[in-house]
């Protein structure tokens, strides 16, 4: 299993809406995540900064990268740009900073 982590940022005043949009997550998006090998996926909110920390595990990196081409994923990214900070107003998805693992204990 490959562990991945990222940080994204909710726009000011939009953290609650971000959470609402995930509860429940679209069934077709959940199905796509599983199809592309995603498991053990969690997102955490740091309320004082509106930072969101995501953690997920993937079975295969190449397989996981293909999710970006899935229509449901692209639709979700556009939907979420309303509540997340993006590089530009025209960006098709939120600004995402991937994190490098520096420690792990099993």
Q: Which residues are catalytic?
A: 22
Report the chain's C-alpha Rg in angstroms. Answer: 14
The size of the chain, in residues, is 106
49, two tokens: 């900064």
| Cα dihedral across residues 41, 5, 75, 38: positive or negative | negative
CA–CA dist 46, 1 (Å, integer): 26
26, two tokens: 């679209």
């Amino acid at each position: 299993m490959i562990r991945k982590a990222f940080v994204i940022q909710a726009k000011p005043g939009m953290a609650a809406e971000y959470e609402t949009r995930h509860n429940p997550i679209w069934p077709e998006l959940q199905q796509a995540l599983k199809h592309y090998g995603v498991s053990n996926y969690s997102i955490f909110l740091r309320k004082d900064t509106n930072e969101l920390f995501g953690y997920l595990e993937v079975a295969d990196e190449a397989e996981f990268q293909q999710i970006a081409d899935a229509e449901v994923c692209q639709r979700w990214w556009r939907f979420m740009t309303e509540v997340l900070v993006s590089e530009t107003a025209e960006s098709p998805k939120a600004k995402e900073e991937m994190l490098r693992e520096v420690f792990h204990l099993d």
